[in-house]
Amino acid sequence: MIDGMMAIAILLPVAAGLVTFFVRDYFARNVIVIVTAFSLIANSIMLAAKGPFTYTPSGFDWGILITILDYAILFFYVYLGISLRNWLVVTFAVTQIIPLAYFEFVMKAHVEVAPAFVVDNLAIVMTLIISIIGSLICIYALRYMHDHEHHAHLEKSRQSRFLLWLVLFLGAMNGLVFANNMLWLYFFWEVTTLCCFMLISHDRTEIAIKNAARALWMNATGGTAFILAIIYLYATQGGSQALSMQNIIGGTLQGSVLLLPVALLCYTGCTKAAQMPFQSWLLGAMVAPTPVSALLHSSTMVKAGVYLVLRLAPAYAGTYLSTAITIVGAFSFLGASALAISQTTGKRVLAYSTIANLGLIIACAGINTPLSIAAAILLIIFHAISKGMLFLCAGTIEHQIWSREIEDMEGLAAKAPLTTLITAVGILSMFLPPFGMLLGKWIALEASYTVPLAAVLFVLGSTLTIVFWTKWLGRLLQVLPKVGRPFEKLSLSYSFPLLTLLVGIFVVGIGIAPIYQSFISAATNNVIAGTQVLASGWNILTSGGAESGSFLGYFPVWTLYIVFAIALVLPLFLIGLKPTEMRPVYLCGEQVGGADTDDFSAEADIRTKVTLGGYYFQSAFGEATLNPVVNTVAIILLVSMIACGVILR
């Protein structure tokens, strides 16, 4: 039973990916992917229902296979680096090969870790996210890639190759969140990096390959740190037992020499999560097709980075390292939010917002109180849903107006009302009450005072997020006076994932209190003991006030949703407008035409169209201004973080 579920979770996507690579027929491929998708979703729900367990696969020496594949991937990177003339890629592949070989042949390390997989509540939460949201994105990718290649007039379809890596990736992610054996975790980590490279460079344009290479070498520095951490653990903590994640976080190892490898692993997590100063790889990855951005670069792969940092939280609790991690995350939150304001491309705004929210999650992990860990997990869940949906919306918009620029999205509410509606709900769900992201941010702010500098950074970052989201939503909604717009037709492959995720935002958001109590609370306890988030009926209470038993704060979930429904949903349906009531916008009386005109008579009575643009504040928040400052500070903070690994409190 468990064998089957684990095989479906990890091996089925790999097999399905390989099969789709060889199938050339569009419909057959779709069927395979859809079947895989639904199997994964069903499987993850069954895993959730089953509850926590441990598992070691038997009957085959998986360890040898993994080692061989490790070397294969790393040598492939070397080959890539040489063929692309990218010496950074070669360097950081070699810096992984040498320590790995040293570990294998000089130290003659014999690693036996049991159990190999530990599926606890946190892993179950992660696999639900990966399986459900990941599968929906794969379904979306089916039609999207078809239209993408149509528009690019490709003679030879490369969708099989795309789907291979996209679906295979899901298996690697599942393996990553289940892995207890650090070497196996390292393997799955490298597979995700490989998928990332393959998918970013899919379009084979010069800029795509360049950005993919950048993603590769930056993640490879993380891989190097991973290997060094493994070697250090093995050497100083007495062998294989140090390479079990449960032992690392369980407090059975010697604390005094534990912090340096843990710091290195947190560095790895930060590179994967594109924290500052590594944000450029995620920004560069936005040239990839949208399903890649949705799956890898918002809901899933980058979550692996924060998952690692969160998982290791017990290992660095109460040390200076914890505070350093908090500041690294909080600073990324602020920096990325500031940079997002100046971005004119929708996907880049989403990318910066992702980096910011990942920084917030890492900071919560660093704060290391039951309240903040609960916030981190809630943020992971809600961010995955909302941001995944927003990226899919961005892709849908792109395929309707064939542009990614926000300025071209002006007035989208008139051209594509359904897409705009879904995008609008997605944007609102990222930063406003009553939605789950705000609930997570609320808990994070309540927990932040433990590290007061983080509280200040959260406050500033939070303010800046309001600016860029509202600006974008405003551009979408800017319509001319006209009554009634029919909803546009969307292909099922687009609308099914979008609507499912939309419903998911509301279902998980409204039901967050019972959902929290049923298994998220247990997931929090996998990381830290005690609980400060209480569910009172459908509302959320936070405890831990000055006196025992007193409350910190109160978030009335269902009341806020009712207010939201009355405020926004009801008027939309109840208010009817008649055409005679429409009036033109105020253009000083110079408008030409009927009520739905945007022409006016300019000088010499020339009929001109009104053009409006958004504010992007390039001089204050532009990349040219901020990048030097932000990158410098971020490097200093990261170096301090690793340095804290050698200081014990």
Partner 1 sequence: MSLIHTSRIKSPWILHFDNSSCNGCDIEVLACLTPLYDVERFGMVNMGNPKHADVLLITGPVNYRTARVLRNLYDQVPGPKMVIAVGTCASSGGVFHNCYNVLGGVDKVVPVDVYIPGCAARPEAIIDGVVLALQKLAGANL
Partner 2 sequence: MKHVMIIIFTLFVAPIIGGLLFGIDRRITARLQGRYGPPILQPFYDFFKLLGKERIAVSKLQFVWIYAYLLFMVASLLVLTLGSDLLVLVFLLGFAGVSLVLGGFSSKSPYSHFGANRELLQIMAYEPVLLLLAIAVYAQNGSFLISDIIRQPKPLMYTLWPLFIAVIYVLTIKMRKSPFDISTCHHAHQEIVKGVTTEFSGPYLALYQLAEWYEIVLVLGIVALFWTSPLIVGIIIALAAFLLELLIDNVTSRMTAPWMVRLSWTFGLILGIFNIAYIYFTKGVS
Which CB sits closer to partner 2, 35 or 562?
Answer: 562
Q: From the CB of residue 4, how many other CB atoms can be counted at a distance below 10 Å?
A: 11
Which CB sits closer to partner 1, 595 or 626?
Answer: 595
Q: Which does 482 bind (CB under 5 to 8 A by kind): partner 2, partner 1, none?
A: partner 2
Stretch that binds partner 2, among 50-58, 103-111, 308-316, 461-469 (CB under 8 A): 461-469
Query: Residue 182 burial (CB < 10 Å; 0-12/13-18/19+)?
Result: buried
Which CB sits closer to partner 1, 572 or 588?
Answer: 588
Q: Binding to partner 2 by residue 602, rule CB under 8 A? A: no
Helices marked H in 51-120 — which ranges?
A: 62-84, 87-101
- CA pseudo-torsion sign 452, 458, 459, 461: positive
What are the angstrom distances between the C-alpha of 203 and each of 83, 147, 149, 154? 17, 14, 10, 10
* Least distance from partner 2 to the Cβ atom of residue 370, Å: 15
Which CB sits closer to partner 1, 388 or 584?
Answer: 584
- Residue recorded with tokens 């650090």: 182
> Which positions from 562 to 581 touch partner 2 by CB under 8 A, shown as an x/- string?
-x--xxx-xxx--x-x---x
Q: Which does 591 bind (CB under 5 to 8 A by kind): partner 2, partner 1, none?
A: partner 1
Q: Binding to partner 2 by residue 236, rule CB under 8 A? A: no
Return the residue of 55, 496, 551, 558 that touches partner 2, per CB under 8 A.
551
Return the residue of 101, 207, 585, 602 that touches partner 2, per CB under 8 A.
585
* Least distance from partner 2 to the Cβ atom of residue 581, Å: 5
Phi, then psi, of 458 in degrees rounded to 5: -60, -45
- CA pseudo-torsion sign 84, 86, 89, 94: positive
Stretch that binds partner 2, among 9-17, 25-33, 103-111, 473-481 (CB under 8 A): 473-481
Which CB sits closer to partner 1, 585 or 646?
Answer: 585
Closest CA to 50 of 128, 105, 108, 103: 128
Stretch that binds partner 2, among 32-40, 87-95, 301-309, 441-449 (CB under 8 A): 441-449
The residue ranges that bind partner 1 (CB under 8 A) are 583-584, 586, 588-591, 601, 605
Closest CA to 590 of 572, 604, 570, 573: 604
- Estimate to the nearest angstrom the gap between the alpha carbon of 605 and the chain centroid: 52
* Least distance from partner 2 to the Cβ atom of residue 389, Å: 19
Q: Which does 433 bind (CB under 5 to 8 A by kind): partner 2, partner 1, none?
A: partner 2
Q: Binding to partner 2 by residue 83, rule CB under 8 A? A: no
Q: Which does 590 bind (CB under 5 to 8 A by kind): partner 2, partner 1, none?
A: partner 1
Phi, then psi, of 294 in degrees rounded to 5: -70, -45
Which CB sits closer to partner 1, 563 or 585?
Answer: 585
Cβ–Cβ under 8 Å, residues 432 and 560: no
* Least distance from partner 1 to the Cβ atom of residue 557, Å: 39
Angle between helices 301-311 and 159-178 (to 10 degrees): 10
Task: Compute the C-alpha angle 501/504/509, nearest 5°.
Answer: 135
Q: Please state, in angstroms and rounded to a whole number, the distance separating the CA atoms of residues 335 and 314.
A: 27
Closest CA to 123 of 171, 38, 52: 52
Q: What single-letter amino acid sits at 464? A: L
Return the residue of 280, 478, 517, 625 that touches partner 2, per CB under 8 A.
478
User: Cα-Cα-Cα-Cα dihedral of 564, 523, 321, 102, to 10°?
Assistant: -130
Closest CA to 189 of 9, 69, 45: 69
Q: Which does 524 bind (CB under 5 to 8 A by kind): partner 1, partner 2, none?
A: none
Q: Which does 568 bind (CB under 5 to 8 A by kind): partner 1, partner 2, none?
A: partner 2
Cβ–Cβ under 8 Å, residues 625 and 619: yes
* Least distance from partner 2 to the Cβ atom of residue 637, Å: 18
Name beta bridge partners: 53: 119
Q: Please state, in angstroms and rounded to a whole number, the distance separating the CA atoms of residues 17 and 587.
A: 57
Which CB sits closer to partner 1, 584 or 645?
Answer: 584
Enclosing H/E stretch for 341: helix 320-341
Which CB sits closer to partner 1, 478 or 625?
Answer: 478
* Least distance from partner 1 to the Cβ atom of residue 583, Å: 5
Return the residue of 76, 79, 102, 449 that touches partner 2, per CB under 8 A.
449
What are the angstrom distances between the C-alpha of 316 and each of 131, 322, 530? 30, 6, 17
Q: Please state, in angstroms and rounded to a whole number, the distance separating the CA atoms of residues 504 and 129.
A: 11
Cβ–Cβ under 8 Å, residues 277 and 635: yes
* Least distance from partner 1 to the Cβ atom of residue 598, Å: 14
Q: Binding to partner 2 by residue 151, rule CB under 8 A? A: no
Q: Which does 411 bind (CB under 5 to 8 A by kind): partner 1, partner 2, none?
A: partner 2
Binding site for partner 2 (CB under 8 A): 410-411, 413, 432-433, 438, 442, 445-446, 448-450, 452, 455-456, 459-460, 462-464, 466-467, 470-471, 473-475, 477-483, 545-547, 550-556, 560, 563, 566-568, 570-572, 575, 577, 581-587, 598, 610, 612, 614-615
